[in-house]
């Protein structure tokens, strides 16, 4: 008998599950409240320019190679990828010197040595070796597998794995671990920023997040057509395998019969029935009752205090001068501890934020462009968009501080209000309800936070979850792995 599966949401996890299940003969329908696939992987239109307004980095290519291969095709048949040599360019508030990190480890070590001295270069080499070991220790028993408890993780690692797990320093903060390798505070800032990749503070997140350094070192790619093209490629793959997509289909209730999920109801009253449902929304929406009271107990509610960071973003089509931009650029504030205290303890926008600028018409070449270019400027923000929106005065102060820092670093942007799109935590909450604008699910603060993310299976039979807010974590490849785990769970169950 053909399994009928409903997938709520066409984010990357939902798209992955749809493609894998359809490829194995399941009857798959994807219901998406927006007009296009992608979820956070969205395109923003400014005139004829299409700007990535969400994830901007493509890593862990092996995840996508494996998913497309499992569907009987190859990633190369659907996407054109270009590896970058410059992973990111870094600058510090008003300082004249910059530091590039490269895909080549020794080239990065040489750059760090020239920037901060030979001892820091040696510290970097030790750090990347440690990051590699951390990734190796966690890949099979945690990242690729269903969510384990701490004891189960030890069991999966085996007798010889306990030492490797302890070597990942789960009880040490990332910031303190970085102090074991770097004396220069600028380098602690640079590598501490990896905590923000999962919406967390480097002063509270565990040192295990250093594995992100290894992930980037394994390769960062540019996607021809932008990151939204990834979502379109998955949509095309799933459609080719027989999955159906319904857009602007707002699911308001998960129907429960005889103690199990049995279907969904849309806002217009239309009902879809299926033997299995995968929720690709943020798990916070499920726990908050956004899909009805009957399904609310399927996962634990998300306390506001545990939310990951949100953001304020400016998507722009503008001319730039001065600073030689590459694709990924980071402009650091002078006081990182104060910045994260304001974000996580005071629940306010930083007085002097660190700014990420993605120059989407550039790669490794930092030659000035003749004409306007596509930019996404981002600062971190507290995820309180649903209950305490940022006042206009705070947003104005943050905007002034953001672009003043860029100017002090030599980057001049010819801004035009008609060629900009601002998104705040309140805007992100509207896109992703019940999150307050949190973009990464639950913050990874403390050693046990990773185990607090729900696994694929919920307390409600017939209902699974798959998203960046579920196991194994936030980010495009991790969300894809979550979708794969959900698909495998469906296929394993009779």
Give the CATH number, domain containing residue 483: 3.50.50.60
**Rounded to whole angstroms, how far apart are CA atoms 178 and 175?**
5
**Matching residue, tokens 């104060």:** 338
**Rounded to whole angstroms, how far apart are CA atoms 53 and 43?**
6
Based on the fold, state whether residues 162 and 189 are members of the same structural domain: yes
Phi, psi (deg, nearest 5) at residue 173 = -75, 155
pLDDT 10s digits, 20-64? 999 999 999 999 999 999 999 999 999 999 999 999 999 999 999
Average pLDDT over residues 332-343: 96
Alpha carbon of residue 331 to chain centroid: 20
Average pLDDT over residues 428-436: 96
Count of structural domains within the chain: 2
Average pLDDT over residues 319-343: 97
pLDDT 10s digits, 367-405? 989 999 999 999 999 999 999 999 999 999 999 999 999
Based on the fold, state whether residues 232 and 156 are members of the same structural domain: no
- Picking from 218, 252, 282, the residue at the C-terminal end of a domain is 218
Confidence of residue 96 (pLDDT cuts 50, 70, 90): confident
* pLDDT given at position 334: 92
Confidence of residue 449 (pLDDT cuts 50, 70, 90): confident
* pLDDT given at position 270: 97
What range does the domain containing 187 cover? 104-196+206-218
* pLDDT given at position 19: 98
* pLDDT given at position 170: 75
**Rounded to whole angstroms, how far apart are CA atoms 115 and 122?**
13
Which value, in Å, is the radius of gyration of the alpha carbons in the chain?
22
Residue 84 to residues 63, 217, 301, 359, 451: CA-CA distances in angstroms?
A: 18, 11, 40, 13, 33
Based on the fold, state whether residues 210 and 249 are members of the same structural domain: no
Kindly tell me if the per-residue pLDDT of 452 is higher than 90: no
Structure tokens at 4: 């009928």
Average pLDDT over residues 85-102: 94
Establish whether the linkage from the previous residue to 85 is cis, with ω within 30° of 0: no
Give Cβ neighbours of residue 391 (< 8 Å, ≥ 6 apart).
none
Helix (H) or strand (E) holding 355: strand 355-359
Based on the fold, state whether residues 164 and 258 are members of the same structural domain: no
Burial, 101: exposed, middle or buried (Cβ in 10 Å; 0-12, 13-18, 19+)? buried
Q: Has residue 349 been placed in a domain?
A: no
**Rounded to whole angstroms, how far apart are CA atoms 368 and 325?**
8
Alpha helix locations (H) across 364-424? Answer: 392-408
Confidence of residue 276 (pLDDT cuts 50, 70, 90): very high
Q: Has residue 56 been placed in a domain?
A: no
Percent of the chain at pLDDT exceeding 90 = 89
* pLDDT given at position 153: 63
pLDDT 10s digits, 138-194? 888 888 888 776 666 666 666 555 566 666 667 799 999 999 999 999 999 999 999
pLDDT 10s digits, 73-87? 999 999 999 999 999
* pLDDT given at position 162: 54
């Amino acid at each position: 008998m053909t399994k009928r599966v409903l997938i709520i949401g066409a984010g990357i996890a939902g798209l992955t599950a749809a493609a894998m299940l359809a490829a194995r003969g399941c009857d798959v329908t994807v219901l998406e409240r927006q007009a296009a696939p992608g979820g956070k992987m969205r395109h923003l239109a400014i005139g004829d320019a299409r700007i990535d307004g969400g994830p901007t980095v493509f890593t862990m290519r092996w995840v996508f190679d494996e998913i497309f291969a499992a569907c009987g095709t190859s990633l190369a048949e659907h996407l054109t990828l270009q590896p970058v040599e410059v992973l990111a360019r870094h600058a510090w508030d008003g300082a004249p010197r910059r530091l590039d990190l490269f895909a080549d480890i020794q080239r990065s070590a040489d750059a760090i040595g020239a920037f901060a001295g030979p001892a820091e270069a040696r510290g970097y080499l030790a750090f990347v070796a440690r990051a590699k070991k951390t990734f190796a220790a966690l890949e099979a028993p945690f990242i690729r597998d269903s969510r384990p408890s701490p004891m189960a993780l030890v069991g999966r690692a085996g007798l010889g794995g306990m030492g490797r797990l302890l070597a990942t320093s789960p009880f040490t903060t990332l910031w303190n671990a970085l102090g074991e390798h770097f004396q220069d505070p600028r380098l602690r800032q640079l590598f501490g920023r990896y905590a923000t990749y999962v919406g967390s503070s480097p002063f509270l997140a565990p040192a295990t997040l250093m594995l992100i350094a290894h992930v980037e070192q394994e390769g960062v790619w540019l996607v021809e057509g932008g990151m939204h093209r990834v979502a379109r490629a998955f949509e095309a793959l799933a459609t080719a395998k027989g999955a159906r997509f319904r857009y602007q289909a707002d699911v308001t209730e998960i129907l429960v019969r005889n103690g199990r999920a049995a279907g969904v109801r849309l806002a217009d009253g239309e009902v879809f029935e299926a033997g299995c449902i995968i929720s690709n929304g943020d798990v916070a929406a499920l726990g908050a009752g956004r899909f009805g009271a009957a399904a609310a107990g399927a996962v634990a509610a998300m306390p506001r205090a545990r939310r990951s960071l949100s953001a304020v973003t400016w998507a722009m089509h503008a001319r730039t001068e001065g600073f030689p931009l590459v694709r990924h650029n980071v402009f650091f504030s002078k006081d990182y501890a104060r910045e994260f205290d304001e974000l996580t303890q005071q629940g306010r926008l930083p007085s002097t934020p660190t700014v990420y600028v993605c120059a989407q018409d550039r790669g490794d070449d930092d030659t000035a462009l003749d004409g306007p270019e596509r930019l996404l400027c981002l600062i971190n923000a507290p995820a309180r968009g649903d209950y305490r929106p940022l006042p206009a005065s705070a947003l104005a102060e943050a905007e002034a501080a953001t672009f003043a820092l860029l100017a002090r670093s030599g980057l001049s942007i010819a801004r035009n209000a008609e060629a900009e799109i601002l998104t705040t935590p309140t805007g992100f909450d509207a896109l992703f309800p019940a999150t307050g604008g949190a973009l990464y699910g639950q913050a990874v603060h403390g050693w046990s936070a990773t185990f607090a993310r729900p696994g694929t299976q919920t307390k409600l039979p017939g209902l699974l979850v798959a998203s960046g807010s579920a196991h194994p974590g936030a980010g495009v490849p991790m969300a894809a792995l979550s979708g794969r785990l959900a698909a495998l769970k469906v296929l394993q169950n009779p």
